[in-house]
Amino acid sequence: MKHLVITVIGKDRPGLVEQLSDAVYSNHGNWLSSSLSKLAGQFAGILHIEVASQHVAILRSALSQIDALQIQIVEEQNETHPVAQLHHCCVTANDRPGIIKDVTTLLSQLGVNIDKLATETQSAPNWGYPIFTAHFDLELPATLELDTVQQELENLADDLTVDFDENLIAS
Protein backbone atom coordinates (compact mmCIF):
# COMPACT_ATOMS: atom_id res chain seq x y z
CA MET A 1 0.00 0.00 0.00
CA LYS A 2 1.09 3.54 -0.76
CA HIS A 3 0.43 6.48 1.49
CA LEU A 4 -0.26 9.77 -0.26
CA VAL A 5 -0.26 13.24 1.23
CA ILE A 6 -2.47 15.45 -0.91
CA THR A 7 -2.76 19.22 -0.67
CA VAL A 8 -5.66 21.04 -2.31
CA ILE A 9 -6.59 24.68 -2.76
CA GLY A 10 -9.20 26.48 -4.82
CA LYS A 11 -12.16 28.83 -4.69
CA ASP A 12 -14.61 27.50 -2.14
CA ARG A 13 -17.95 26.15 -3.32
CA PRO A 14 -20.44 23.56 -2.13
CA GLY A 15 -19.58 19.96 -3.02
CA LEU A 16 -15.77 20.11 -3.06
CA VAL A 17 -15.31 17.67 -0.19
CA GLU A 18 -17.84 15.32 -1.78
CA GLN A 19 -15.91 15.46 -5.08
CA LEU A 20 -12.66 14.68 -3.28
CA SER A 21 -14.16 11.84 -1.26
CA ASP A 22 -15.85 10.39 -4.35
CA ALA A 23 -12.57 10.47 -6.33
CA VAL A 24 -10.73 8.73 -3.48
CA TYR A 25 -13.42 6.10 -2.89
CA SER A 26 -14.15 5.42 -6.57
CA ASN A 27 -10.45 4.84 -7.25
CA HIS A 28 -9.82 2.37 -4.41
CA GLY A 29 -8.37 4.86 -1.95
CA ASN A 30 -8.88 4.89 1.79
CA TRP A 31 -9.23 8.37 3.38
CA LEU A 32 -7.14 8.11 6.57
CA SER A 33 -7.07 11.68 7.87
CA SER A 34 -7.47 15.27 6.76
CA SER A 35 -7.62 18.89 7.73
CA LEU A 36 -9.88 21.02 5.53
CA SER A 37 -10.77 24.69 5.93
CA LYS A 38 -12.32 27.69 4.26
CA LEU A 39 -9.82 30.53 4.49
CA ALA A 40 -10.45 33.96 2.93
CA GLY A 41 -12.94 32.49 0.44
CA GLN A 42 -10.61 29.68 -0.56
CA PHE A 43 -10.99 25.99 0.19
CA ALA A 44 -7.68 24.62 1.47
CA GLY A 45 -6.81 21.22 2.80
CA ILE A 46 -4.43 18.38 3.31
CA LEU A 47 -5.38 14.71 3.14
CA HIS A 48 -3.65 11.46 4.01
CA ILE A 49 -4.80 8.68 1.69
CA GLU A 50 -3.88 5.00 1.51
CA VAL A 51 -4.13 3.26 -1.87
CA ALA A 52 -2.76 0.09 -3.47
CA SER A 53 0.25 0.74 -5.73
CA GLN A 54 -1.62 -0.32 -8.87
CA HIS A 55 -4.29 2.36 -8.26
CA VAL A 56 -2.03 5.36 -7.59
CA ALA A 57 -1.93 6.59 -11.20
CA ILE A 58 -5.69 6.34 -11.72
CA LEU A 59 -6.34 8.13 -8.41
CA ARG A 60 -3.92 10.90 -9.39
CA SER A 61 -5.74 11.28 -12.70
CA ALA A 62 -9.18 11.37 -11.07
CA LEU A 63 -8.09 14.03 -8.56
CA SER A 64 -6.57 16.19 -11.31
CA GLN A 65 -9.97 16.23 -13.07
CA ILE A 66 -11.67 18.15 -10.23
CA ASP A 67 -12.39 21.60 -11.66
CA ALA A 68 -10.69 24.69 -10.23
CA LEU A 69 -8.65 22.87 -7.59
CA GLN A 70 -4.89 22.99 -7.47
CA ILE A 71 -3.76 19.59 -6.22
CA GLN A 72 -0.32 18.37 -5.23
CA ILE A 73 0.32 14.72 -4.35
CA VAL A 74 3.37 13.43 -2.51
CA GLU A 75 4.04 9.76 -1.81
CA GLU A 76 5.11 9.07 1.74
CA GLN A 77 8.56 7.51 1.60
CA ASN A 78 8.70 5.90 5.02
CA GLU A 79 5.47 4.22 6.11
CA THR A 80 6.65 3.16 9.57
CA HIS A 81 7.02 5.86 12.18
CA PRO A 82 8.08 5.54 15.77
CA VAL A 83 5.32 6.46 18.18
CA ALA A 84 6.07 9.91 19.51
CA GLN A 85 4.74 11.43 22.70
CA LEU A 86 3.07 14.71 21.85
CA HIS A 87 2.14 17.53 24.18
CA HIS A 88 -0.83 19.77 23.40
CA CYS A 89 -0.05 23.43 23.95
CA CYS A 90 -2.34 26.43 23.69
CA VAL A 91 -0.75 29.88 23.25
CA THR A 92 -2.95 32.96 23.66
CA ALA A 93 -2.02 36.64 23.27
CA ASN A 94 -3.31 39.99 22.12
CA ASP A 95 -3.21 39.78 18.34
CA ARG A 96 -0.25 41.44 16.64
CA PRO A 97 2.07 40.67 13.74
CA GLY A 98 4.87 38.23 14.52
CA ILE A 99 3.38 36.03 17.25
CA ILE A 100 3.70 32.81 15.24
CA LYS A 101 7.19 33.75 14.06
CA ASP A 102 8.35 34.42 17.63
CA VAL A 103 6.83 31.22 19.01
CA THR A 104 7.99 28.95 16.17
CA THR A 105 11.50 30.44 16.20
CA LEU A 106 11.82 29.68 19.91
CA LEU A 107 10.43 26.16 19.49
CA SER A 108 12.91 25.52 16.70
CA GLN A 109 15.80 26.81 18.82
CA LEU A 110 14.74 24.40 21.59
CA GLY A 111 14.68 21.48 19.13
CA VAL A 112 10.89 21.04 19.42
CA ASN A 113 9.08 19.51 16.44
CA ILE A 114 5.62 20.89 15.60
CA ASP A 115 3.34 17.98 14.73
CA LYS A 116 0.19 20.06 14.31
CA LEU A 117 -0.72 23.74 14.40
CA ALA A 118 -4.13 25.42 14.25
CA THR A 119 -4.61 29.16 14.78
CA GLU A 120 -7.46 31.62 15.00
CA THR A 121 -8.12 35.24 15.84
CA GLN A 122 -11.32 36.23 17.65
CA SER A 123 -12.69 39.36 19.23
CA ALA A 124 -12.24 39.32 22.99
CA PRO A 125 -15.60 39.22 24.76
CA ASN A 126 -16.49 42.60 26.29
CA TRP A 127 -13.11 44.10 25.35
CA GLY A 128 -13.38 44.45 21.58
CA TYR A 129 -9.76 43.86 20.63
CA PRO A 130 -8.65 40.68 18.87
CA ILE A 131 -7.16 37.72 20.73
CA PHE A 132 -4.86 35.34 18.88
CA THR A 133 -4.89 31.64 19.83
CA ALA A 134 -2.59 28.90 18.57
CA HIS A 135 -3.05 25.21 19.33
CA PHE A 136 0.10 23.12 18.93
CA ASP A 137 0.84 19.42 19.22
CA LEU A 138 4.53 19.35 20.08
CA GLU A 139 7.17 16.62 20.12
CA LEU A 140 9.89 17.50 22.60
CA PRO A 141 13.44 16.15 22.60
CA ALA A 142 13.98 13.59 25.38
CA THR A 143 16.31 16.00 27.22
CA LEU A 144 13.88 18.95 27.28
CA GLU A 145 11.46 19.47 30.16
CA LEU A 146 7.94 20.73 29.52
CA ASP A 147 8.33 23.37 32.24
CA THR A 148 11.34 24.81 30.39
CA VAL A 149 9.34 25.13 27.17
CA GLN A 150 6.47 26.84 29.00
CA GLN A 151 8.78 29.27 30.80
CA GLU A 152 10.70 30.17 27.63
CA LEU A 153 7.47 30.76 25.71
CA GLU A 154 5.97 32.91 28.45
CA ASN A 155 9.15 35.03 28.48
CA LEU A 156 8.47 36.07 24.87
CA ALA A 157 5.81 38.65 25.85
CA ASP A 158 3.96 39.88 28.93
CA ASP A 159 0.53 39.20 27.40
CA LEU A 160 1.34 35.70 26.16
CA THR A 161 -0.17 32.80 28.11
CA VAL A 162 0.84 29.17 27.59
CA ASP A 163 -1.16 26.16 28.73
CA PHE A 164 -0.14 22.52 28.32
CA ASP A 165 -2.61 19.66 28.68
CA GLU A 166 -1.60 17.15 31.32
CA ASN A 167 -2.34 14.18 29.09
CA LEU A 168 0.15 13.11 26.45
CA ILE A 169 -1.04 12.41 22.91
CA ALA A 170 0.33 9.45 20.95
CA SER A 171 0.96 10.19 17.30
Greatest extent of the chain over all pairs of C-alpha atoms, in Å: 57
pLDDT (tens digit, 9 = 90+) per residue, 24-66?
999 999 999 999 999 999 999 999 999 999 999 999 999 999 9
At the topology level, CATH places domain 2-75 in: Alpha-Beta Plaits (3.30.70)
| Domain extents in the chain | 2-75, 85-170
Handedness of CA 144, 145, 146, 152 (dihedral sign): negative
Supply the pTM of this predicted model.
0.78
pLDDT (tens digit, 9 = 90+) per residue, 103-136?
999 999 999 999 999 999 998 777 778 999 999 9
Q: 131: how many CB neighbours lie within 10 A of its CB?
A: 16
Q: At 167, is the pLDDT very low, low, confident or very high (cuts 50, 70, 90)? A: low
pLDDT of residue 80: 58
Please compute, for residue 120, the number of CA atoms within 13 A of its CA located in the half-sphere on the CB side: 7
Q: Tell me if domain 2-75 and domain 85-170 are identical in fold.
A: yes
CATH homologous superfamily, domain 85-170: ACT domain (3.30.70.260)
The string over 101-115, giving b where at least 16 C-beta atoms fall within 10 Å of a residue's C-beta and e elsewhere, is: ebbeeebeeeebeee
Q: At 147, is the pLDDT very low, low, confident or very high (cuts 50, 70, 90)? A: very high
Please enumerate, as own/partner, the contacts of 168-171 that have beta carbons within 8 Å and a separation of 24 or more.
168/85, 168/86, 168/87, 169/85, 169/86, 169/87, 169/88, 169/137, 170/83, 170/84, 170/85, 170/86, 171/81, 171/83, 171/84, 171/86, 171/115, 171/137, 171/139
Length of the chain: 171
